[in-house]
């Protein structure tokens, strides 16, 4: 036993001003992937955050240069795996644009319905995980209850629950499952009857509001400066929904609202995603009973060769703008390819919105950015 209290001072990790440098990750439950943050603290106040990437780098863009225009589409499922269907759609649209491929209306309707189901499934997972990061465990089970219905629909339709690989240049890999419309309608009914539970559990929860309101504020000017897109930018009042600005497929034929908030804090980013799920339901309701009959895939050549030149297309994923840029030399594979993923720009603001706040607020600030690390570190 000690006869007196012994104070041990280890200043090896302390800076000149008493600052403490700690490592968050790369293995940490709140980073939702292999993300390493070097956090500089003064007491409990954040002074600086430096993200370190590269732990799961796979050279995906370089890999795509050796894949055909039919093959490279599916590599993007391994980037933002929660928006894999939408990523595949962006790549297919580029090939169709470059080769002037006509896509049947039936395929366009189904693509949009599946895109919006993907968006809801992504937001449901984010809602449950983000609430759990802040200490609320029950919403995780509620969110996954509805998400499970979507993954069942995806499994019936595509044969997979996460990385669908259902889209091909010209349309769809195969036609819809016979119970597709029935199951989608059942999901809509279930979701609309349960959405009030999210409000009771999370939105109107005074503890959740205290943890998120006024935390991680991002102004509209800074959102634009950092290149933020998706719910992160729209929560700061920046209009940037690709489905509205540059409509693709049949988005110009459906009525829906671009969800905007102006507070720019963590709670505003939460509200944008919750409201977006309702708008996705609205889009699906307009399309599900009006899917045209006919072919599910257009006529294409067995070997696809993009004309020589530069091509770019963009789509709206659950996290923001996903862009695909290809330089073609007229061959069967891309000469150069670059993916513009929303996660990298959104991660870039983490230091900006966190400096000056407490270490306990980092979970709310980072959680509402909705980071999928394989999409950033690819």
Phi, psi of 119 (to 5 degrees): -65, -45
| pLDDT tens profile 268-326 | 999 999 999 999 999 999 999 999 999 999 888 889 999 999 999 999 999 999 999 99
Residues near 219 by beta carbon (within 8 Å), at least 6 away in sequence? 236, 264
Query: CA 42, CA 133: separation in Å to the nearest integer?
Result: 23
pLDDT at 196 (0 to 100):
84
Please choose, from the candidates 58, 13, 49, the residue with its C-alpha nearest in 3D space to the C-alpha of residue 31.
49
Q: Which domains does the chain have, with CATH numbers?
A: 100-303+350-376 (1.10.645.10)
Crossing angle of the two packed helices 105-133 and 266-287, in degrees rounded to 10: 150
Phi, psi of 225 (to 5 degrees): -60, -40
Burial zone of 172 (CB within 10 Å; 0-12 exposed, 13-18 middle, 19+ buried): buried
**Alpha carbons within 13 A on the beta-carbon side of 215:** 24
Cis before 26? omega within 30: yes
pLDDT band at 199 (very low <50, low <70, confident <90, very high): confident
Please choose, from the candidates 152, 115, 74, the residue with its C-alpha nearest in 3D space to the C-alpha of residue 249.
115
DSSP 8-state code for residue 50: E
| pLDDT tens profile 224-280 | 999 999 999 999 999 999 999 999 999 999 999 999 999 999 999 999 999 999 999
pTM of the full predicted structure? 0.91
| pLDDT tens profile 131-179 | 888 888 898 899 999 999 999 999 999 888 888 889 999 999 999 999 9
Any idea what the Cα angle at residue 259 is, between residues 322 and 220, rounded to 5°? 75
The string of DSSP codes covering 122-157 is HHHHHHHHHHHHTT--HHHHHHHHHHHHHHHHHHHH
């Amino acid at each position: 036993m000690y006869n007196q209290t012994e104070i041990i001072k280890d200043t090896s990790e302390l800076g000149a001003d008493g600052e403490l440098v700690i490592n968050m990750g790369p293995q940490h439950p709140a980073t939702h992937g292999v993300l390493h943050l070097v956090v500089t603290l003064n007491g409990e106040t954040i002074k600086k955050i430096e993200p370190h990437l590269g732990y799961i780098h796979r050279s995906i863009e370089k890999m795509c240069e050796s894949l055909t225009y039919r093959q490279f589409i599916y590599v993007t499922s391994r980037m933002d795996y929660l928006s894999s269907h939408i990523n595949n759609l962006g790549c297919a649209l580029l090939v169709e644009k470059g080769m002037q491929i006509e896509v049947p209306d039936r395929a366009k309707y189904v693509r949009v319905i599946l895109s919006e189901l993907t968006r809801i499934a992504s937001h449901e997972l984010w809602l449950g995980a983000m609430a759990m990061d802040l200490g609320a465990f029950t919403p995780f089970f509620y969110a996954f209850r509805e998400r499970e219905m979507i993954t069942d629909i995806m499994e019936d339709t595509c044969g997979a629950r996460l990385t669908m690989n259902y889209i091909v240049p010209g349309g769809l890999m195969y036609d819809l499952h016979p119970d597709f419309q029935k199951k989608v309608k059942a999901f809509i009914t279930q979701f609309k009857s349960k959405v009030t539970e999210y409000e009771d559990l999370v939105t109107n929860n005074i503890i959740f509001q205290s943890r998120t309101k006024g935390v991680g504020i991002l102004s509209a000017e800074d959102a634009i400066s950092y290149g933020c897109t998706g719910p992160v930018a729209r929560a700061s009042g920046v209009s940037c929904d690709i489905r509205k600005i540059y409509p693709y497929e049949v988005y110009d034929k459906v009525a829906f609202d671009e969800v905007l908030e102006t507070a720019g804090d963590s709670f505003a980013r939460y509200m944008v995603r919750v409201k977006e799920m309702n708008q996705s339901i609205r889009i699906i309701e307009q399309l599900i009973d009006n899917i045209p009959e006919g072919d599910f895939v257009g006529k294409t050549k067995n070997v696809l060769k993009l004309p020589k030149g530069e091509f770019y297309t963009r789509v709206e994923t659950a996290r923001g703008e996903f862009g695909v840029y290809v330089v073609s030399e007229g061959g069967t594979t891309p000469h150069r390819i670059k993916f513009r993923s929303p996660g990298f720009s959104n991660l870039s603001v983490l230091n900006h919105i966190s400096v000056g706040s407490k270490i306990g607020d980092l979970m709310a600030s980072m959680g509402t950015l909705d980071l999928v690390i394989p999409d950033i570190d690819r």
